[in-house]
Structure 1
Amino acid sequence: MPTIRSTILASTALIGGILAGSGAVHAQQTIESAGLTIATTPVISSDYSFRGLSQTRNRPAAQVTVDVEHSTGLYVGAFVSNVAFAGTNARQEVDLNAGYRMELAGVKLDLGATYYAYPGYDAPTGGYELNFYEFALRASYEIAPVKFVGLAAVSPDFTGESGLGIYVEGGFDMALDFGFTVGGRVGYQWVERNFATAGRNEGAFGAEDYLNVSLFASREIIGGVIGTVSVVFTSLDERADCFGGSKICDNRVMFALSRPF
């Protein structure tokens, strides 16, 4: 059985791909007197995938992302979703983030930090905290019709108190005819302590370091509603490699509807 501390990965990798691919950044509200731009995006999805791993045990998710950016490039934001981790009472995730965006020689940069929280979760006896924080650098560069994207993230103490966590990812979004956008991401997750060590009071992730790949296609359906189809793969194909037999690492097809405001 997977340990409590090993059953969680969190936040917005798939949703980030949906929003980047769908043109959601163009749907936003401004408060000119305050120099603020506000973007809100609710999403309904057949699953909640973070770095290739299901956060809802392959069940549907309802989510919302809010981003508030000042004209200086400073921003704050939040992400809320339902979650379901086997053997835990975690039912919701609330991520808080802040950072700074700028452009340098045509490259858009985003340096930020995110705190991943699970309100209402109680660590059982022998279990470890799910909450963690992470620092990330995102970059994008566009050569129309293709936008190249990259991500490097570091957590001093990753989820499950598993020690240093490092994640890198690269990919692209491409605008096609008839309003379609396609894209892909390839990422790799390293964790300091993959498995618990007998006799040592240390947290652990619960699986080997792994590769994940996602491909998606999206298009506006009607009234600003974006439909997205994604295919997700991980290198944790063997059931025994996935948190003690969990199905959350299985390759799968996902569907999502989003409506940026």
Structure 2
Amino acid sequence: MMKKILGLMACLTAAPVMAADVSGTVGFTNDYRFHGISQTAGDAAIQGSLDVAFENGAYAGIWGSNVDFGDDANLEVDYYVGYAGSFNDNFGYDVMLAYYTYPGYDAADGDYAELNFSLSYGNAAVSYAYAGDYFNTGEDGQYVSLDYSHPLMENLSLDLHAGHSFGEYWGEVDMDDYEDYSIGVSGSWAGLDMSAAWVMTSVDKDAEIDTGLFRNDDTLVLSVSRTF
């Protein structure tokens, strides 16, 4: 799967007749949370991406972050290709194929592919993600989310998020379906993009982890990044 995605990325970036915008981002967060669950045992993460976007709506990119799963996993690198467009001035869509990889991870082979669909209207967006082999376990993992951003003033927005994780995988890890929520603000200043969000989950008390690996307790997540 990764070879197919890399091949698609190579084809897109090699197209000479298509104008493209290339950008890179470097960022820092005090806790890398994915669907409300820490991927860094509650510790900080340095993250970065390289993206190319074409005039016709196609795009491709690579994103990376440090991780901590309590074994020899220390790096996540994700590859993605997609196509974004709009039906009118307010109604847009985005289809993306992503491949999550963990280079140097010998304790387990967690690489897997995920297909993402998003629809947006104004400042609101609904998304659905499906992985038929979540974390290479043979079980499916699915995620649906709703996001809304409300401008408060110039360069500052109120951000609301609600997500639902479900599928066979979550039953296998004895956590069952759960929700994650966040409320925060984001903005830009002096060339930096910054955000602060209070992240919450609906995980049952007997499955809540408030310290160490795979923390899923309520917490404040702070992030800052710079795009070049």
Which band: TM-score by shorter chain? 0.7 to 0.9
Q: Say yes or no: does 1:85 pair with 2:69.
A: yes
Quick one: which amino acid aligns to residue 22 of structure 2? I
User: Offset at 1:205?
Assistant: 3.9
Equivalent in the alignment of 2:23? 39
Instruction: Give the Cα–Cα distance (whole angstroms) in 2 for the partners of residues 151 and 132 of structure 1.
Output: 19
Q: Say yes or no: does 1:71 pair with 2:55.
A: yes
Equivalent in the alignment of 2:216? 249
Equivalent in the alignment of 1:8? none
1:194 to 170, 178, 182: 170
Instruction: Give the Cα–Cα distance (whole angstroms) in 1 for the partners of residues 131 and 119 of structure 2.
Output: 18
Instruction: Give the Cα–Cα distance (whole angstroms) in 2 for the partners of residues 193 and 176 of structure 1.
Output: 39
Instruction: Give the Cα–Cα distance (whole angstroms) in 2 for the partners of residues 221 and 75 of structure 1.
Output: 27
User: Offset at 1:173?
Assistant: 0.8
Which structure 1 segments of 5+ residues have no match? 1-31, 196-203
Q: TM-score, normalised by structure 1?
A: 0.75
| CA deviation vs aligned residue, 1:189-217 (integer Å, no higher than 9, x gap) | 1121435xxxxxxxx44522110001120
Quick one: which amino acid aligns to residue 182 of structure 2? S
Q: Say yes or no: does 1:214 pair with 2:182.
A: yes
Structure 1 range deviating more: 246-255 or 184-193? 246-255
User: Offset at 1:71?
Assistant: 1.3
**Match of 2:180, SS?**
strand
**Match of 1:236, SS?**
coil
User: Offset at 1:177?
Assistant: 1.6
Quick one: which amino acid aligns to residue 98 of structure 1? V
User: Offset at 1:219?
Assistant: 2.3
Equivalent in the alignment of 2:147? 171
Alignment of 1:148-159 (within 5 A): 148-159=124-135
Quick one: which amino acid aligns to residue 145 of structure 2? E
Quick one: which amino acid aligns to residue 233 of structure 1? M
Equivalent in the alignment of 1:130? 110
Instruction: Give the Cα–Cα distance (whole angstroms) in 1 for the partners of residues 148 and 138 of structure 2.
Output: 30
**1:74–1:49 CA distance, 2 compared to 1 (3 A):** same
Quick one: which amino acid aligns to residue 86 of structure 2? E
User: Offset at 1:35?
Assistant: 0.7
User: Offset at 1:101?
Assistant: 1.2
Equivalent pairs, count: 211
**Match of 2:207, SS?**
helix
Q: Say yes or no: does 1:182 pair with 2:165.
A: no
Q: TM-score, normalised by structure 2?
A: 0.85
Q: Say yes or no: does 1:118 pair with 2:102.
A: yes
Q: Say yes or no: does 1:53 pair with 2:33.
A: no
**Match of 1:122, SS?**
coil
| CA deviation vs aligned residue, 1:229-252 (integer Å, no higher than 9, x gap) | 11100011525355xx95610110
Equivalent in the alignment of 1:16? none
User: Offset at 1:97?
Assistant: 0.3
Instruction: Give the Cα–Cα distance (whole angstroms) in 2 for the partners of residues 240 and 255 of structure 1.
Output: 25
Instruction: Give the Cα–Cα distance (whole angstroms) in 2 for the partners of residues 73 and 101 of structure 1.
Output: 5
Which structure 2 segments of 5+ residues have no match? 1-15
User: Offset at 1:164?
Assistant: 1.4
Structure with the largest fraction of strand: 2
**1:205–1:191 CA distance, 2 compared to 1 (3 A):** farther
Instruction: Give the Cα–Cα distance (whole angstroms) in 1 for the partners of residues 62 and 27 of structure 2.
Output: 14
Quick one: which amino acid aligns to residue 130 of structure 1? G
**Match of 1:159, SS?**
helix
Equivalent in the alignment of 1:161? 137
Quick one: which amino acid aligns to residue 132 of structure 1? Y
Quick one: which amino acid aligns to residue 117 of structure 2? L
Instruction: Give the Cα–Cα distance (whole angstroms) in 2 for the partners of residues 54 and 176 of structure 1.
Output: 29
**Aligned CA-pair RMSD:** 2.1
**1:34–1:247 CA distance, 2 compared to 1 (3 A):** closer
User: Offset at 1:90?
Assistant: 0.5
